[in-house]
Amino acid sequence: MADLPEEVPGLDSEEYPEEKEPFQESNEETTDSAFSDGGHAWGFVIGLGALLLVVIWALMLIPRRTEVKPVPVPAPILFHPPAPAVLVDQLVKEIQDGELPSLQEEGVIGLAGEYKMHDQLVNFKHEPTDKYLEKIVDFLHLKSNASRSFFSIKIKLHNDHNINGAKTGILPNGAIFYAASSILRAQNEAEVAGILAHEIGHLVSRHYAKERRAWQNVTRLENKFIKEANLKGMIAIRMAKDRLWGTMLLPGSMDTNQQLEADKKGQEILRDAGYESDAFLNLLHAYTVGISDITPRILMNQRTREAEKNQFQGKSFIVATPEEFRAIQKNLKNFLDKQK
């Protein structure tokens, strides 16, 4: 046998690289893939475990809630126990005592209230009615010194849309908000003048200032009793307020006294001007019929009884004739009907 040459041309390792067996190469790839998937799985498990440990550690840092026993709340006092009558009488007197606000201050407050009333009421101007009411006010001032006040009277008509619920009031600066229904349902001029005279009675008696002073005193006393933890004083101040401003069943003495004083002053103004007293009584009877609540009805009955003691003779029409009065009412009604 002939010897083969050590190197066969064209068969060196560079030209013919050693081939790997297909089975062996496939086995290595499979092994690497499996190891890679296993690494991801273990990483996920380790990360999840670390997250759980962090959550547990955070929960351990949160302080535990201590059990709080509920504080017993006393039952509401539906009927407050009575306070000494002497203390209540003393507080009633103290609430109504003191210096009144100045007239200048009343004027400023009245002006602010005037703007507020303009926002709350349906105000309007009707020249024939405005001039007629102004003439009545001027006549009352001319004939009665009792109608004189620091402020001049300003008439502000408003449409209350309710013939049975007329509301007329006066502010401390002399602004009278006169309900249109009070004019439409009036039987004569004396009734219109009676409403004006009553409101002027409130003004000259300075009832608004007295009311404001009383509430300022109530606030001062309440703060004092609360600061001192004076239960007897707080009960007494509540009873004093009920006595002055009334409850659901009984009118208060302050409200009653102010209305009676305004009625008496109004009757005096009407008498000086020459109007009849029956017109004022008719007004009180008409208002009483339209009231269903107990407290206001009791007050109106009391006002009627007191007014009956001061009857006098007079006229039903002075500034205008009956025909002119009816024409004013008709003109006003037609004007309001067009506004609807």
In a domain, 64, yes or no: no
In a domain, 67, yes or no: no
| Residue range 159-183: mean pLDDT, rounded | 81
- pLDDT of 139 strictly over 50: yes
- pLDDT of 91 strictly over 90: yes
Range in 187-191, 214-218, 290-294 the model is least confident about = 290-294
Residue found by looking up tokens 């002399």 in the block:
174
In the chain, the amino acid numbered 37 is: D
Percent of the chain with pLDDT over 70: 77
Rounded distance between C-alpha atoms, residue 161 and residue 336, angstroms: 9
In a domain, 9, yes or no: no
244: pLDDT confidence band, cut at 50, 70 and 90? very high
Q: Taken in order 8, 10, 15, 17, is the CA torsion positive or negative?
A: negative
- pLDDT of 35 strictly over 80: no
In a domain, 221, yes or no: yes
Rounded distance between C-alpha atoms, residue 70 and residue 158, angstroms: 55
The whole-number pLDDT of residue 69 equals 55
In a domain, 49, yes or no: no
Q: Are 51 and 57 in contact (CB under 8 A)?
A: no
Q: Are 304 and 255 in contact (CB under 8 A)?
A: no
At 149, list the tokens: 């006040």
Rounded distance between C-alpha atoms, residue 92 and residue 328, angstroms: 47
3 state DSSP class of 208: helix
Q: Are 194 and 275 in contact (CB under 8 A)?
A: yes
Residue in 183, 180, 165 with CA at minimum distance from that of residue 290: 165
**Domain interval for residue 99:** 85-339
The whole-number pLDDT of residue 83 equals 64
Cα dist. 189→135, 136, 198, 319 in Å? 12, 9, 14, 8
Tell me the Ramachandran region of residue 274: left when phi exceeds 0, alpha when psi lies from -120 to 50, beta otherwise: left
| Residue range 203-228: mean pLDDT, rounded | 94
Tens digit of pLDDT for each residue in 273-306?
A: 999 988 888 888 877 776 777 778 888 888 888 8
For 308-333, give one letter per residue: b (16+ CB within 10 A) or e. eeeeeebebbbbbeeeebeebbeebe
- pLDDT of 32 strictly over 60: no
Number of domains in the chain: 1
In a domain, 48, yes or no: no
The whole-number pLDDT of residue 61 equals 63
CB neighbours of residue 224 within 10 Å: 13
The whole-number pLDDT of residue 25 equals 47
In a domain, 261, yes or no: yes
The whole-number pLDDT of residue 213 equals 94
**Phi, psi torsion values for 151, nearest 5 degrees:** -105, 150
Fill in the DSSP letter of residue 146.
Answer: G
Rounded distance between C-alpha atoms, residue 170 and residue 262, angstroms: 12
Q: Give the CB-side neighbour count of residue 141, counting CA atoms within 13 A.
A: 14
18: pLDDT confidence band, cut at 50, 70 and 90? low
The whole-number pLDDT of residue 136 equals 96
Q: What is the mean pLDDT of the chain?
A: 81
The whole-number pLDDT of residue 62 equals 60
Element (H, E) at 176: strand 175-179
